[in-house]
Amino acid sequence: MPSLLLTNKQFAAKIEENIKRVESRDSDYIKDSNETNIHDIRTAVRRLNASYKSLPKKLRRKNRIRKYMATCKRLFKLNSQIRDYDIIGEKLQKYSSESVYKNIADILKKRRETKLATARKVAMSLRERHRLHIEESDISPNKLEARFTKVVAKLVENIELDLPVVLTNADKIKELHELRKNCKKLRYLLEMIPHQDSNSNDKSVNDKDVQAMVTALEDIQDILGSIHDNDTAISFLKQSIRRKKGVSHILRDEISDRAKKYEDLIQFCKRNLSDNTHNFLKQIALMG
């Protein structure tokens, strides 16, 4: 893989930016745990986690850093579950005139309230933790480059493996979910790469190619995210059917909608995986 020209000074600045973003979003979340702030704290934690995973092993294993990130991850997981309840609730709104709706809505509300109460406690504990700070001098440039390169290469490998599986079998839900997460992780890492002066003689990083890859990753993860939302709702509805809640027709509608979204994914990939210089997989391979 070509050098990504990410120095320890630049990386320290980026991770500091990500830490401050988490702190700010955490405060907003504590003040008002609305859907926007739930989205924002999850995104902030994702970005910080991507930079954390790129740290050399010695730093990743430091007790204060490890514990801070463990709290972040717990907060992320809880809010992901809350978001799932919100997504399911939004999808069921069109059935609000039906008698079955109130029963399902009550279940979602109770589950959401329980998770939110726990999540807010975790958010408070994160704010009360000693502020995380990583100095430029803490990061070995050689170890950073080796680790960053290794993480990017692994994400590339995973995407190359999972994408063909997902495109040939619509029922590979686990692989689809992993593909979406890996696309996000890779995008966040690529966004950390500093822009190069257009007059620079160093051509190891091409801003245009990196930005094109970031855009492609964002596009595909949006489609994958939409399908994942369908899968989340389908799983919940199947559980409801086992409890005899009378939601078979809602489940059929959701499965039909998922099929349409999956076709959108196929068409997107046909356009972007064609045999040309902008082939998504070719660009992915170049990153590895």
At the topology level, CATH places domain 8-287 in: CHAD domain (1.40.20)
CA 14 – CA 239 distance, rounded (Å): 43
Overall residue count recorded for the chain in this entry: 288
- pLDDT for the residue numbered 87: 95
- pLDDT for the residue numbered 192: 85
Q: Please check whether residue 72 is in contact with residue 48, taking contact to mean a CB–CB distance below 8 angstroms.
A: yes
CA 19 – CA 8 distance, rounded (Å): 16
Low-confidence stretches of the chain (pLDDT < 70) are: 1-5, 195-207, 242-245, 273-288
Which pTM was predicted?
A: 0.87
- pLDDT for the residue numbered 231: 97
Place of tokens 């120095």: 7
Q: Please check whether residue 192 is in contact with residue 12, taking contact to mean a CB–CB distance below 8 angstroms.
A: no
Domain locations in the chain as residue ranges: 8-287
Rg (CA), the chain: 21
CB atoms within 10 A of CB 29: 25
- pLDDT for the residue numbered 274: 59
